[in-house]
Structure 1
Amino acid sequence: MMDALSVILLFCAAVGVYVVCSLYFLRNPLILHKKKRLEFHCRHISHRGGSGEKIENTMEAFTHAVSVGTEMLEMDCHLTSDGCVVVSHDKNLLRQTGYDKTVSSLRFQDLPLYKERLEVTFYVGHYSTGKDRKFVLLEDIFKNFPNMPVILEIKENNELLIRKVSDLVKQYGRETITVWASEESGVMEKCKKQNPFMPCMFTLRRGVLLLLLFYTGLLPFVPLQESLLLFYLPSVINRTYIPEEAILKRRFVVSLLQKLTMRKSLFEHLIKRGLQVQLFVCNEESDIEAAFAVGATGVMTDYPTLLTNYIKKHPPPPAVY
């Protein structure tokens, strides 16, 4: 009987020590880890170049976003049939242009124009227009905005695309300000293998692992290869953004997602380790406010002017890097 009691007491003591150590290192991670030093710190990120104010992913959209004060551009890319890296969110052009063709089936010069009026994906019922309706080459983005940080999502599991993107990044000397982005771990592994010097975001699988480490108390003891955490602000789901996934249409699921992911202590820990936390896509002032309130270092929006005006009215505290 005494032996069993001793074992129980020893177990409880061990658990207690573990919990105390975990909480201590959660708040003081630099005792165990070297702080990441990114060459950018962006509060203002323009989604698809600010697709609520100009046609998404056009040079006019990117130019406008930069002119109103964005600090980072987010975009996606595909490969055309003649080997050009083109900026486009969709693989199939039906939603964007009305033509049921894939980017990969056409030469760059044969890509159709965007629709004159395009619905904003993350602000249902709202549309954007613009004078520029042409698709743009990734290289032209790099030429026109040489010092602008970019989040670049690889939309295809295509090694040639990944290599061409990496080559362009190297050619224009922007490895430290261009972020590899993909939800798929297999794609991200190929990206990092191709160019390990570019910072990268958490994939979906790595994001789930991050939460498991956080809730089990193991996170403070585990090294992280990523530099950015990009995630939905859950409160936009089924309000400004209507997801395609049936599971995300359930109120209970979204509520659970909100409770599990929007943890200020998690974000604070990552930030202390030098990572950046960016929440998207915030197209109303209340969403921008909610994202910053929960601890985001940056907000991604389709409305760069709205975000600029918000930041002007709510200047950030002095940054500590």
Structure 2
Amino acid sequence: MYGAVYVLSTVTGYVLTSALLLKCPTLLHRKKKERFHSKHISHRGGAAENLENTMAAFKHAVALGTDMLELDCHLTKDEQVVVSHDPHLQRATGINAYISDMAYGELPPYLCKLDVTFQRECICEGGEDKRIPLLKDVFEAFPNTPVNIDIKVNNDTLIKKVSELVVKYDREHLTVWGNASNQIVRKCYKENPRIPVLFSFPRVLQLLCLFYTGLLPFVPLKEQFLEIPMPNIVNKLYDPNRMSKSQRLFTWLADNLLMRKALFQHLTARGIQVYIWVLNDEEDFQRAFDLGATGVMTDFPTRLKDFLDRNGLSKPQ
């Protein structure tokens, strides 16, 4: 009997301590310093308003007042760091070749029209700027704008080159980098631990396990940014009637597991920003901020800016 009482009291004490630290994590952890705070994040520069990952897209987003540019990097044959999403050029340029097999001067321009990945039946028609830019072009053009870099391939030289550019342009305080791959994130952190990293996919799964077991308040976290999808946007990208029951169940389950206000509040209290992607309508903007997300990543920077302005969420000028 006494053993049962002891176990019960121990479990009760653990649960109460976990609940307290979940609400007040700074009792155990020093809050991470936020060098910048981003609500408005332009996905690929705003892929629905200008051709993705072009200087025209980035200039438009920055002119609107975006808090952060999100972009993707690859390495050319002559070891130039370029801003492009796909490793292969077919979708974006119509050319059957890999970026890594071509020198920068050989890269073709973007097509005039590109599908917008996260908006159903949406095509973006570009203007005159169809050039694949260099990462240094972005750094030079926007010295004070935070940049979110997705290292698209597991390439040690690419990681090293990106780090060198970040250091050269004095942007360690304005950059976050990473990938869904845990191996890539570990390499990024090892190459330059002064540049904040994103949670990789395996680390997101670990984070959820820690959260649901009550262990999260006791565990230190090296990452400073949680960047996750809102799973139920799948219902807007695809016809729900054509999804199987198992697909619909998985989407519902993933959404309910990931979109947790208590989790977001705990992380932000520890100085870890929470970004949700890729949201393109007001209903999803509202839900993300109601859940306590720090920022929203969108293909429609103008649409998100209008929403923030109308709801009094924009930063004071």
How many residue pairs were aligned? 312
Query: Which residue of the partner structure matches residue 5 of structure 2?
Result: 9
Greater mean alpha carbon deviation, residues 200-209 or residues 233-242: 233-242
> 1:174 matched to which residue of 2?
171
Q: 1:140 aligns with which of 116, 137, 140?
A: 137
Letter in 2 for 1:227: Q
**Shift in Å, 1:247:** 9.9
Tell me how far apart the structure 2 counterparts of residues 53 and 75 of structure 1 sit (CA, whole Å): 15
In structure 1, how many angstroms separate the alpha carbons of the residues matched to 2:105 and 2:117? 26
Equivalent position of 2:112 in the other structure: 116
Q: Does 1:235 align with 2:237?
A: no
**1:145-189 alpha-carbon deviations (Å, 9 max, x no partner):** 011000101011100000000000000000011101211111111
1:292 aligns with 2:289: yes
Task: Report the Cα distance in structure 1 between the residues aligned to 2:293 and 2:244, rounded to whole angstroms.
Answer: 25
Aligned ranges for residues 89-168 of structure 1 at < 5 Å?
Answer: 89-131=85-127, 132-168=129-165
Secondary structure of 1:40's match?
coil
Report the Cα offset of residue 125 of structure 1: 0.7
CA pair 241-84 structure 1, distance change in 2 beyond 3 A? farther
SS at match of 2:236: coil
- 1:221 equivalenced with 2:218 (yes/no): yes
Q: Residue 19 of structure 2 corresponds to which residue in structure 1? A: 23
TM-score (norm: length of structure 2): 0.95
Matched, 1:197 2:202: no
Q: CA deviation at 1:253?
A: 0.4
Paired amino acid for 2:2: S
Do the aligned partners of 1:123 and 1:241 also contact (CA within 8 Å) in 2? Answer: no
For the 8 Å contact 2:308–2:314, the answer to whether it is kept is no
The alignment's TM-score, normalised by the length of structure 1, stands at: 0.94
The change in CA–CA distance for 1:194 and 1:127 in structure 2 (over 3 A counts) is same
Taking the aligned partners of 2:99 and 2:315, their CA distance within structure 1 comes to: 44
CA deviations over 1:284-315 (Å, ceiling 9, x no partner) = 11111111111111000000000000000011
Deviation larger for 284-293 or 264-273: 284-293
- One-letter amino acid of the counterpart of residue 73, structure 2: C
Question: SS of the counterpart of 1:224?
Answer: coil
Identity among equivalent positions (%) equals 46
Displacement of 1:106: 0.7
Offset at residue 238 of structure 1 (A): 3.6
1:66 maps to: 62
**1:57 — aligned with what?**
53
CA distance, structure 1, for counterparts of residue 139 and residue 190 of structure 2: 22
**Residue 38 in 1 paired to residue 34 in 2?**
yes
Matches of 1:156 and 1:65, distance apart in 2: 26
Shift of 1:137: 0.2
**SS class of match (2:69):** strand
State the Cα deviation string for residues 97-153 of structure 1 (Å, max 9, x = none).
111211001111111111111110001210111221110000000000011000101
Deviation at 1:229, TM superposition (A): 0.5
Q: Residue 78 of structure 1: which of 74, 79, 95 is its match?
A: 74
CA distance in 1, matches of 2:225, 2:53: 22
Contact 1:122 1:241 in 2 (8 A): no
Give the Cα separation in 1 of the matches to 2:246 and 2:103. Answer: 38
Give structure 1 stretches of 5+ with no counterpart: none
8 Å CA contact 2:178, 2:184 repeated in 1: no
